[in-house]
């Protein structure tokens, strides 16, 4: 249905713009799009007319009919129609050995001579519905820029995108989610809540954490460090640059070179900024002989890594060039690899449950033996994949399998988490690696005195600060729970008479461990309340003469909107309990209009 809608969009485009040059028009997860070259360029104001034309085509119930032409004849016909992008695709198919082209034409109902009565013809492999009246409910959503073949050195086109569902109710629900997603966009909220920024003076994809955002980042890191200490992890710190030989040993050079920043020349040697921490941790493991008594040995680090991402793929906190990673490497015997893998899965489960992340699934990425990017022998890969499968089956957690998605040195499990508005993110990964211990000649002495190689698990349950905080901004719509909120309490004095009292209260709360401030600006009380609400401060305390005289405070809960009157001691005790339990107090979820 969605692919057919793209075909109908192309027909409407050619009706209004006879010289429009069509490129590609696939279906998408929630709709369809078509890339096109039009002169003058399309504007968003043109969408209603295109949508009206599409609905007219739908109402006519035009038949979709497939036919084929010999390759050279098809190319000649496309060129005659001015469809140069389609002709280019056809010539590429010819180079691959294809001998004919597939086309679809739209035919009026009741017309028998399809060839002569065709209303529109497009080169396409289909499939399509039987006729245009079967495509469901749709809406054109946007016009944006797109490059031919997705490459910046190719001509720039325009992409007309739309949504399509079987029913009006499904379409409305999705449109509501799209609007809600715009409100929750971490890039917008990052500015509104003063969490992070970027600067052309610094460079794209390089995040500047502002004080409020830095507090969120540090709370997550403190939590992770405390949790990992309880699970037997030992913290290490490694440099951000290294001699290139280290990455030749790990084989990131040359196989990962396109994702690394260029080398710098120091003392007549090449140094690289590290894209990952693993080779450094392997080096620490190998600094002295290891005994089986030391295993499992778990090295953890919030390491700062840099990876070169194409400028066109950079997106807020989600795809950056510098990242702090919740990284760790676990060295154990192969016999313990499954149990260690399961412990990592449980750690993920703990983090997600605490943060109120209820929807997530896992993707087991395996090797495609025909792809030359993978390294190591067949026997090693079979052992690593068998151990990973065993861990996943034992866990009982739902997962899907993706062939050809493994790391070049071993199978991996990607954790896909879904935000409260249905947006999916790759949050972290866990990899079982039998390749790097051999490359770095890692060894331990077993009980019987023999020398063995450990297995290595690469894991990062909280991913990177950048991506995970970006996810949480959207997940919580910027309204962080009390323990994560950059500002937990804001005190609002009603008048100058209570300024001193409010400052004393601020000191008491700060000494009790809270992030608190007094807003005694010249704004009206109403404006100061709105300012606190805009920053989504969990607790707003209003103090007037009555509260001062009675030794109480009135506070409003941002999440429920409820107001409470309590004494300061009770307020501190209840808030401390909420901090200790890391309680999530979600706001009521908005619903689409009926």
- DSSP string covering 532-567, please? HHHTT-SEEEEE-HHHHHHTEEEEEETTT--EEEEE
Helix (H) or strand (E) holding 157: strand 156-165
Helix (H, G, I), strand (E, B) or coil at 489: strand
Whether 171 maps to a domain, the answer reads no
Alpha carbons within 13 angstroms on the beta-carbon side of residue 529 total: 13
Q: Which domain holds residue 456?
A: 191-475
**Cβ-contact 426, 416 below 8 angstroms:** yes
Tell me the C-alpha distance between 461 and 352, whole Å: 9
Residue 125: CATH number of its domain = 3.30.980.10
Same domain, 218 and 246: yes
Q: What letters, b where the CB count within 10 A reaches 16 and e where it falls short, cover 294-324?
A: ebbbbbbbbbbbbbeeeeeeeebbbbbbbbb
Residue 535: CATH number of its domain = 3.40.50.800
Same domain, 498 and 551: yes
Last residue of a domain, one of 115, 150, 166: 166
- Amino acid 311: pLDDT: 83
Parts of the chain with a pLDDT under 50: 588, 590-591, 593-594
Q: Are strands 322-332 and 118-123 parallel, antiparallel or unpaired?
A: unpaired
Same domain, 501 and 424: no
pLDDT, tens only, 245-283: 999 999 899 888 999 999 999 999 999 999 999 999 999
Tell me the C-alpha distance between 38 and 33, whole Å: 15
Whether 543 maps to a domain, the answer reads yes
Whether 131 maps to a domain, the answer reads yes
Whether 201 maps to a domain, the answer reads yes
Instruction: Report the Cα 233 to chain-centroid distance in Å.
Output: 27
Whether 480 maps to a domain, the answer reads no
Whether 588 maps to a domain, the answer reads no
Same domain, 291 and 404: yes
- Amino acid 360: pLDDT: 86
- Token pair recorded at residue 354: 């605490």
Same domain, 371 and 229: yes
Same domain, 253 and 301: yes
Angle between helices 378-395 and 337-354 (to 10 degrees): 50
Same domain, 266 and 357: yes
- Amino acid 359: pLDDT: 85
Whether 153 maps to a domain, the answer reads yes
Same domain, 261 and 406: yes
DSSP label at residue 38: -
Same domain, 468 and 518: no
pLDDT, tens only, 54-70: 999 999 999 999 999 99
Cβ neighbours for 176, distance < 8 A, ≥ 6 positions apart? 591, 592, 593
Whether 183 maps to a domain, the answer reads no
- Amino acid 248: pLDDT: 95
Same domain, 267 and 340: yes
Last residue of a domain, one of 475, 509, 542: 475
Same domain, 260 and 362: yes
Residue 290: CATH number of its domain = 3.30.930.10
Q: How many domains does the chain have?
A: 3
Last residue of a domain, one of 424, 445, 475: 475
Same domain, 219 and 100: no
């Amino acid at each position: 249905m969605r692919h057919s809608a793209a075909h109908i969009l192309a027909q409407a485009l050619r009706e209004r713009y006879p010289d429009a040059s069509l490129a590609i028009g696939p279906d998408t997860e929630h709709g369809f799009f078509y890339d096109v070259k039009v002169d003058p360029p399309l504007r968003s104001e043109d969408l209603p007319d295109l949508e009206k034309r599409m609905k007219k085509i739908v109402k006519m119930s035009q038949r979709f009919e497939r036919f084929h032409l010999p390759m050279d004849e098809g190319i000649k016909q496309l060129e005659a129609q001015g469809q140069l992008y389609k002709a280019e695709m056809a010539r590429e198919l010819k180079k691959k050995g294809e001998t004919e082209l597939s086309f679809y034409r739209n035919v009026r109902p009741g017309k028998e001579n399809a060839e002569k009565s065709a209303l529109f013809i497009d080169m396409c492999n289909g499939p399509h519905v039987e006729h245009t009246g079967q495509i469901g409910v749709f809406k054109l959503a946007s016009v944006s820029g797109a490059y031919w073949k997705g490459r910046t050195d190719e001509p720039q086109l325009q992409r007309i995108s739309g949504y399509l569902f079987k029913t009006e109710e499904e379409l409305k629900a999705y449109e509501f989610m799209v609007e809600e997603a715009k409100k929750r966009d971490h890039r917008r909220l990052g500015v509104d809540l003063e969490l992070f920024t970027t600067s052309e003076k610094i460079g794209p994809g390089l995040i500047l954490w502002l004080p409020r955002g830095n507090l969120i980042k540090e709370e997550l890191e403190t939590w992770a460090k405390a949790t990992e200490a309880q699970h037997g992890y030992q913290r290490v710190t490694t440099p951000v640059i290294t001699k290139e030989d280290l990455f030749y040993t790990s084989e990131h050079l040359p196989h990962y070179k396109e994702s690394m920043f260029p080398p710098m020349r120091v003392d007549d040697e090449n140094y690289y900024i590290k894209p990952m921490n693993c080779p450094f941790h392997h080096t620490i493991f190998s600094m002295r002989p290891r005994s089986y008594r030391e295993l499992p040995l778990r090295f953890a680090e919030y390491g700062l890594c840099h990876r070169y991402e194409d400028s066109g793929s950079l997106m807020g906190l989600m795809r950056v060039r510098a990242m702090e990673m919740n990284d760790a490497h676990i060295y154990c015997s192969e016999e313990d690899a499954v149990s260690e893998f399961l412990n990592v899965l449980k750690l993920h489960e703990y983090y997600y449950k605490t943060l109120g992340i209820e929807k997530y699934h896992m993707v087991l990425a395996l090797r495609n033996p025909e792809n030359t990017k993978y390294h190591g022998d067949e026997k090693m890969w079979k052992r690593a994949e068998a151990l990973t499968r065993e861990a996943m089956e034992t866990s009982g957690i739902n997962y899907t399998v993706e062939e050809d998605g493994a790391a070049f040195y071993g199978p991996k499990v990607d954790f896909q988490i879904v935000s409260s508005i249905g947006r999916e993110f790759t949050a972290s990964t866990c990899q079982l690696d039998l390749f790097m211990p051999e490359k770095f000649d890692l060894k331990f002495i077993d009980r019987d005195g023999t020398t063995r190689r450990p297995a290595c698990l690469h894991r990062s349950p909280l991913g990177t600060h950048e991506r995970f905080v970006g996810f949480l901004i959207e997940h919580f719509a910027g309204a962080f729970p009390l323990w994560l909120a950059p500002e937990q309490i804001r005190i609002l004095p009603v008048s100058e008479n209570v300024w001193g009292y409010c400052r004393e209260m601020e000191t008491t709360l700060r000494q009790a461990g809270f992030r608190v401030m007094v807003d005694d600006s010249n704004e009206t009380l109403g404006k100061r309340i709105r300012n606190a609400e805009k920053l989504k401060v969990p607790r707003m305390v209003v103090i007037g003469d009555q509260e001062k005289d009675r030794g109480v405070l009135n506070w409003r809960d941002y999440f429920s909107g409820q107001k409470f009157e309590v004494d300061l001691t009770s307020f501190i005790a209840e808030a401390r309990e909420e901090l200790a339990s890391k309680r999530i107090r979600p706001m009521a979820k908005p619903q689409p209009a009926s």
